[in-house]
Amino acid sequence: MARTTQEQYKAQARVLKALAHPTRLLLVEELARHPRCVCDLRDAAGLDISTVSKHLSLLRNAGIVVDEKRGLKVFYSLKTPCVLNFFKCVESVRACSK
Amino acid sequence: MARTTQEQYKAQARVLKALAHPTRLLLVEELARHPRCVCDLRDAAGLDISTVSKHLSLLRNAGIVVDEKRGLKVFYSLKTPCVLNFFKCVESVRACSK
DNA sequence: AGAATATTTGGCCAAACTGCCAAATAGTCA
DNA sequence: TGACTATTTGGCAGTTTGGCCAAATATTCT
pLDDT, tens digit (0-9, with 9 covering 90-100), for A57-70: 999 999 999 999 99
Cβ atoms B80, B66 nearer than 8 A:
no
Note the pLDDT of residue A93. 83
% residues pLDDT > 90 (chain A):
73
Tell me the mean pLDDT in the region B25-29.
97
Cβ atoms A78, A64 nearer than 8 A:
yes
A19 touches strand C (CB under 7 A): no
* A89 → closest Cβ in B9, B25, B82: B82
Q: Which domains occur in chain A, in start order? A: 7-96 (1.10.10.10)
Tell me the mean pLDDT in the region A26-39.
97
Cβ atoms A87, B12 nearer than 8 A:
yes
- Tens of pLDDT, residue by residue over B48-97, are 999 999 999 999 999 999 999 999 999 999 998 888 888 887 888 887 66
Do the chains contact at A97 and B64, CB–CB below 8 Å?
Answer: yes
Distances A20 to A11, A43, A92, B31, B46 between C-alpha atoms, Å: 14, 21, 16, 22, 25
Note the pLDDT of residue A98. 55
A64 in B contact zone (CB under 8 Å): yes
Distance CA A77, CA A54 (A): 15
For residue B13, the chain A residue with the least C-alpha distance is A20
Buried b (16+ CB within 10 A) or exposed e, A29-58: bbbeeebbbbeebbeebebeeeebbebbeb
Going along chain A, which residue ranges are E strands? 36-37, 65-70, 73-78
Do the chains contact at A9 and B22, CB–CB below 8 Å?
Answer: yes
Note the pLDDT of residue B1. 60
